[in-house]
């Protein structure tokens, strides 16, 4: 790993906004969810909540251009689950919706801890989400169409959130070097080793000041402890 690569990863991780997230409520088109994830990465969101749609997702990897490596997607079976978690974390829940009481998206203070709720392409935000919603917002339209595509609307709203947070200095706040930080850093720098550790139920090793595994001989030690695989899997690991 080059020093430039390590510093780039650190800079991106330090700008991550833990108190800003997106909840995609049964967004069933894979390309839309992928585009939303890419936008989240671009504005510094590290975690996206996705409520599993009926019929599953239609895979579409092209739009993300690698964003999924840097944004963790937590999948839920009901919309109440992620919204309850966001509420418990002190977040306001802002729903992109076409209801009569929706306000202009620019009138919201996105420097507050915020969860942006996005409905699916056909039905919008589900009724089960209603008890958790603090405000409903809309992106004003000047043409004949009623609304933007869900991924486009997400990009517009999150761009405003980014603008407000940049002005407020949210992207240069002191970094909290806690367990979540260390875990994310290791997974970003060493994705193959991270997957190996998860499969073998091993703790992640500590990193040195250059982002490399600090303990000398760690690779050999864990390789000896781990049970050998057979066939192609064993060959691929060598």
The CA distance from 80 to 54, in Å, is 16
Helices in 146-217 by DSSP H: which ranges? 150-167, 179-189, 191-200
Centre a 10 Å sphere on the Cβ of residue 46 and count the other Cβ atoms it contains: 19
Residue 172 annotated in ligand binding: no
The CA distance from 73 to 60, in Å, is 15
The CA distance from 158 to 131, in Å, is 23
CA separation (Å) from 11 to 6, 8, 171, 216? 9, 5, 10, 27
The CA distance from 52 to 220, in Å, is 40
DSSP assigned state of 122 = T
136 forms beta bridges with 95
Which residues belong to the annotated binding site?
139
Q: Which residues are annotated as a binding site for S-adenosyl-L-methionine?
A: 139
């Amino acid at each position: 790993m080059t020093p430039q690569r390590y510093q780039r990863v650190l800079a991106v991780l330090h700008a991550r906004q833990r108190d800003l997230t997106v909840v995609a409520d049964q967004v069933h088109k894979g390309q839309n969810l992928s585009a939303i994830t890419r936008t989240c990465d671009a504005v510094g969101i590290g975690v996206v909540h996705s409520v599993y749609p009926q019929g599953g997702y239609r895979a579409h990897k092209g739009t993300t251009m690698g964003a999924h490596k840097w944004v963790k997607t937590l999948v839920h079976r009901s919309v109440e689950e992620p919204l309850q978690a966001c509420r418990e974390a002190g977040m306001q829940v802002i729903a992109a919706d076409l209801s009569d009481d929706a306000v202009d998206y620019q009138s919201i203070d996105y420097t507050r801890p915020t969860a942006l709720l996005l409905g699916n392409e056909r039905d919008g935000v589900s009724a089960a989400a209603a008890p958790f919603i603090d405000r409903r917002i809309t992106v004003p339209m000047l043409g004949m169409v009623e609304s933007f595509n869900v991924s486009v609307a997400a990009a517009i709203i999150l761009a405003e959130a980014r603008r407000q947070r940049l002005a407020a200095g949210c992207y240069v706040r002191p970094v909290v070097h806690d367990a979540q930080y260390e875990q994310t850093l290791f997974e970003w720098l060493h994705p193959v080793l991270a997957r190996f550790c998860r499969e073998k139920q091993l703790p992640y090793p500590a990193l040195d000041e250059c982002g490399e595994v600090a303990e000398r001989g760690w690779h050999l030690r864990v390789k000896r402890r781990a049970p050998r695989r057979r066939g192609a899997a064993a060959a691929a690991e060598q």
